[in-house]
Amino acid sequence: MFSIFVPEMSENKSLHNALRQVRLQAGKFQICGFSISGLATYLQLPELDFCVDMGECPVSAIGLNHVFLTHAHGDHSRCLMRHHSLRRMMGIERPSVYYIPAELAKGAENWIHAEAMFEGVPEARFQLPTIVPMEVGKKVILEYRKDLALETFPVKHALSGKRYLPSMGATLFTHKNKLKEEYLHCTTSEIIALRKQGVQITREVFDPTITFMGDNLGDNLLDSSLSSIWNSEILVTECTFLDDGEQDMAENKGHTHIGKIVDALKKYGTDIHCKQIILTHFSMKYSVDHILETIQKNIPDEFKDRVSAFV
Ligand SMILES: [Zn+2]
Ligand SMILES: [Zn+2]
């Protein structure tokens, strides 16, 4: 007689499954993916041809051309190269573009090279994917979406020795050229004439559409140097810990406790212009019901209709 080993927490019994995607309407577009601390985070925005992090790479992510990596933790980064190689395997010619914090770019290249060598790719055939090192505060127009620009900002997340790991949040801006104020009264033929004379009649406008905080200490939300995040139409921020008594654990692990989100909502109050605030990256120990109940209980009444959980 033999017995079959059954792990204590089998996939069927676990509370969360990283390949079962959550879908949430965020303004005019959908966010599909998954985000539970330690398991995986990937947030796909198909209408914007954009994905934040690649902790898993489902088939639905393969067609997305732009990927932003917030930081190097495996639950956010480990399928970045799977994305690249699956595209090639499926014959997608267009090179995808990986936007990576500048400090991590060299390490990412080494990692990608090492992975290819491990798989037995001949050195002569090895080719790096397109990596754009992101510098804080510089707007970068997306490679295949000239109507969108990405700008990063630094966030404090986990400590590595005495320094914080390189981690970034980012805002995706809608980028357009608008007619300058002084030409608004002009007729179409006058505009055409001005254009022919080479007059610069338009100005660039960047509207903050969606901001992703990435993994971060809740203190980033209260940092006045980052107050522009509250101007974004949609804010996506992590909320790893929910329960009373977990505040210190959140601090030590470099994550946000819901109490810090409540503090930030109270601090900025009517200065918050976000139409939607989406909470992600909950600890894997909480059930969906517990997450929803705790949010309902803690978020101030005036923000309840704007705050939702990505679960
Ligand atoms: Zn994480
Ligand atoms: Zn992390």
CA of 35 to the centre of ligand 1 (A): 8
Query: 18 falls in which pLDDT band (50, 70, 90)?
Result: confident
Give residue 13's pLDDT. 55
pLDDT digits (tens, 9 = 90+) for 77-112: 999 999 999 998 999 999 999 999 999 999 999 999
> Does CATH place domain 22-309 in 3.60.15.10?
yes
pLDDT at 14 over 70: no
CA of 284 to the centre of ligand 2 (A): 14
Name residues with Cβ closer than 5 Å to ligand 1, which is an ion. Answer: 75, 215
Where would I find the H helices in 167-284?
188-196, 219-222, 247-253, 258-268
Please tell me the number of the ligand nearest to residue 283's CA. 1
8 Å CB contact between 58 and 19: yes
For the full predicted model, state whether its pTM sits above 0.85: yes
8 Å CB contact between 195 and 219: no
Helix H or strand E segment including 114: helix 102-118
Give residue 161's pLDDT. 85
Name residues with Cβ closer than 5 Å to ligand 2, which is an ion. Answer: 73, 215
pLDDT digits (tens, 9 = 90+) for 29-66: 999 999 999 999 999 999 999 999 999 999 999 999 99
